Structure 1
Amino acid sequence: MIKRLLTPELVITLQQLEGIGNKTILSKIGGNISAPISTLDELSSLLTTIKGKKFESISNYDLIEANKCAKRIIAHTEEEGIGIITYYDSLYPEILRNCKNEQGKLDPPLVLYYRGDIKILEIPGIAVIGTREPTPNGIKAGEFFAFEFAKRGFNIISGLAIGCDTTGHKGALAARGLTTAFLANGLDWDSIYPKENLTLAQDIVAKGGLLLSEYPVGQSCGRYGLVARDRLQAGLAYATIVVQTGVKGGTMHAVNATIASGKLLFAVAYRDSADSSHEKVQGNLMLVQDKGAHPLKSTGIDDAIFQIENKHKTSLQPVQPSLFD
């Protein structure tokens, strides 16, 4: 178990300091802590021991103001019924400590805001992702595979976007299984994006699922956040299923992170010629031909699970519906 070297309040305080990013906190600051730090004075003393102009320029006034901001964020978070865990907490999912970005560099989230049951992250996850504009058969495929994998014990992970993400969440809920949505915005209901899926987000929480984000309440969704969260979907999952994607679709961010992490990648294979020739399926074909993705058919679910279990040396347990009554 990782020692809680910093309290959430102090971690969020550091995030408010100009020029101090998550990677700096994890490597430069966290790497210099030898014993738990729980007060602002202790943090101030630590910062004076770290070499570098950015640390030397931090005044006590800067730290106090950053701490005031952190306290406001935490207060607003608690008012919304949202929880906070950081890299230094025992509830932090171990699999995310090894989260890699598209370039294959370690890039775990420092702070996670959550709404719902955080303990479902102990269940093996599988990412179900793809285009926002799937074909009718793509919608059916996404819901089918999410349903089947959820029924067999997976936590279905996606990003709440319209299209394939929605099929993943809905398929899991239809199976009375569990699903996690990684968002690129705050988890207060006013900030949920896209607005069309607000009811779905509420349904996920109501039925035992989870919403996750790196961003505090009130944070709107931006392009950078959407790209950054793709690594987290792949990072939290044992494997990734691409329902449908074009060759240059945004889905490729999560695909690249999956490949860089050495995790299993599956791409749904379509029998219908109208689907296999569709622009939004050409990425599936490319992933199988050029990137080593495994083609996934409706008859290949058990084989896919065998591959996942073998790679991760784990045994999945089927969902017990009575748990979610």
Structure 2
Amino acid sequence: MELLEAWLILRSVKGVSDGTICTLVRHFGGPKEVLSASASELRHVAGLRPSVVTALRKEPEPSVVAHVRKEMRLLEKGESGIVTILDAAYPRRLAMIPDPPPLLYVRGTLPASDNYAVAIVGSRKASPAGALMTQELSQQLAGMGLTIVSGLARGIDAAAHRGALAAKATTIAVVGCGVDRTYPPEHRQLQRDIEGHGAVVSELPLGAPPLPHHFPRRNRIISGLSLGVIVSEADQKSGALLTARFALEQNREVFAVPGAVKYGKHRGAHGLIKQGAKLVEDARDVVEELLPQFDGLLVDRVKNARFQETISQSFTPKERRVLSLLHEDPVSIDEVLMEAPFDRAEVMSLLLSLELRGCIRQVPGSRYVRTSC
């Protein structure tokens, strides 16, 4: 029996959880050794239920073997690969969660196992402002060398991936189907772009459809790959809150981006802030919290001028023009109008955009001061 075939057969044994598979292969040294272990040897593994011992000692059904061999033929095409929990390439942080997937299917290239990653998740029905804020936040973080992890869903997830791609940085999409499928279908090109600048990963076998129960499970992988999880825009029923709960269980940091108090799409994020999540206005709020976990090289990248350059590159020419007119001394809207070739409504919109990003703040008298960026 080939090693890969043994992995796929072991994963197919009914009633054996991911956590149990990981325990077994670590105990015996590999999947072939697990499948060939006697009942007596299996019983010596602490916590192993009798039903699991019985299941492991059964010969695999012919249908299981046929399915495994079909999957092996698909893998031989080379478009997708598998990384196992025993491989050096398996993400180090993910391996430390209570129930890591024993197998990760991969399209693209996983970053180094000790790579620094942060997850950004949120509503599938994101507002235009929420998507813009997320993309810019992702671009800022990616520009400092952080890998951006998300779930390739509509809305906030897509904005997070696009921000990383705009920074020409690495991003990982954890999907709730086989990596050889695209969901949602309109993200086919985005998925290809991610494969070219990172990886699309799944614990599900090739061809697996995007069934509803797949997505809650994949959320533990999103948080498990990351130092922390940022919830950008989420209502009280959003799946992003489940990712945040997984993050807490895995001893990861949880961050939340605030929004309008009466706007339902932000209630989930506001609830997290009430419970102690770090409030995020820009990338600095994230990196300051994570800084103790960074190595020297990444610390230097955070502190150097590239951070400011990354922020400035995320602005439109009009936003940069208005920002250039503001400084530490208060400036009125009329003063901005005198220098900027825009009408009042457009200036108000540009000022609001800059204020939402934390680059400026309003002071008494309808005046503005520059705070950062």
TM-score bracket, normalised by the shorter chain, equals 0.7 to 0.9
Asked if 1 retains the 8 angstrom alpha-carbon contact of 2:38 and 2:57, the reply is no
Q: Provide the residue aligned with 2:156 in structure 1.
A: 164
Which of 191, 195, 200 matches 1:211?
A: 200
Q: Which has the larger radius of gyration?
A: 2
Cα deviation for residue 123 of structure 1 reads: 2.1
Cα deviation for residue 15 of structure 1 reads: 1.6
Q: Provide the residue aligned with 2:99 in structure 1.
A: 107
Q: Provide the residue aligned with 1:309 in structure 2.
A: 291
What amino acid is aligned across from residue 60 of structure 2 in structure 1?
D
The aligned runs of 1:176-195 (5 Å cut-off) are 176-188=168-180, 191-195=181-185
Q: Once the two structures are superposed, what CA deviation does each residue of 1:219-248 show, in whole Å capped at 9, x if it has no partner?
A: 001122100011111110111111101122
Which of 254, 268, 278 matches 2:263?
A: 278
Distance 1:37 1:196, change over 3 A: closer
Whole-angstrom distance in 2 between the partners of 1:305 and 1:180: 19
Q: Provide the residue aligned with 1:93 in structure 2.
A: 91
What amino acid is aligned across from residue 11 of structure 1 in structure 2?
W
Asked if 2 retains the 8 angstrom alpha-carbon contact of 1:126 and 1:240, the reply is yes
Alignment partner of 2:37: what SS? helix
Alignment partner of 1:199: what SS? helix
Asked if 2 retains the 8 angstrom alpha-carbon contact of 1:120 and 1:209, the reply is no
Q: Provide the residue aligned with 1:103 in structure 2.
A: none
How many residues are treated as equivalent by the alignment?
Answer: 294
Asked if 2 retains the 8 angstrom alpha-carbon contact of 1:96 and 1:108, the reply is yes
Cα deviation for residue 58 of structure 1 reads: 5.3
Q: Provide the residue aligned with 1:137 in structure 2.
A: 129
Q: Provide the residue aligned with 1:18 in structure 2.
A: 14
Q: Provide the residue aligned with 1:46 in structure 2.
A: 37
Aligned-CA RMSD value: 2.4
Asked if 2 retains the 8 angstrom alpha-carbon contact of 1:84 and 1:113, the reply is yes
Q: Once the two structures are superposed, what CA deviation does each residue of 1:175-203 show, in whole Å capped at 9, x if it has no partner?
A: 11111000011111xx2111111110011
Gaps of at least 5 residues in structure 2 are 44-49, 307-373
The aligned runs of 1:66-77 (5 Å cut-off) are 66-77=64-75
Q: Provide the residue aligned with 1:81 in structure 2.
A: 79
TM-score, with length taken from structure 1: 0.82
Distance 1:184 1:63, change over 3 A: same
Does 2:224 correspond to 1:228?
no
The aligned runs of 1:230-245 (5 Å cut-off) are 230-245=219-234
Q: Once the two structures are superposed, what CA deviation does each residue of 1:139-189 show, in whole Å capped at 9, x if it has no partner?
A: 11110100000001110000000000000001111111111000011111x
What amino acid is aligned across from residue 235 of structure 1 in structure 2?
G
Q: Provide the residue aligned with 2:60 in structure 1.
A: 62
Does 2:285 correspond to 1:294?
no
Asked if 2 retains the 8 angstrom alpha-carbon contact of 1:14 and 1:66, the reply is no
Higher RCO (CA 8 Å, separation ≥ 6 residues):
1
Cα deviation for residue 122 of structure 1 reads: 3.7
Q: Once the two structures are superposed, what CA deviation does each residue of 1:91-149 show, in whole Å capped at 9, x if it has no partner?
A: 111101122xxxxxx11111100000123554210101001111121011110100000
Distance 1:75 1:258, change over 3 A: same
Alignment partner of 1:85: what SS? strand
Q: Provide the residue aligned with 1:323 in structure 2.
A: none
Asked if 1 retains the 8 angstrom alpha-carbon contact of 2:10 and 2:31, the reply is no
Cα deviation for residue 304 of structure 1 reads: 2.5
Alignment partner of 1:228: what SS? helix
Q: Provide the residue aligned with 2:254 in structure 1.
A: 265
Q: Provide the residue aligned with 2:241 in structure 1.
A: 252
What amino acid is aligned across from residue 169 of structure 1 in structure 2?
H
Distance 1:67 1:32, change over 3 A: farther
Gaps of at least 5 residues in structure 1 are 1-5, 100-105, 321-325
Does 2:176 correspond to 1:154?
no
Alignment partner of 2:107: what SS? strand
What amino acid is aligned across from residue 182 of structure 2 in structure 1?
I
Distance 1:90 1:47, change over 3 A: farther
Alignment partner of 1:109: what SS? coil
Whole-angstrom distance in 2 between the partners of 1:156 and 1:293: 19
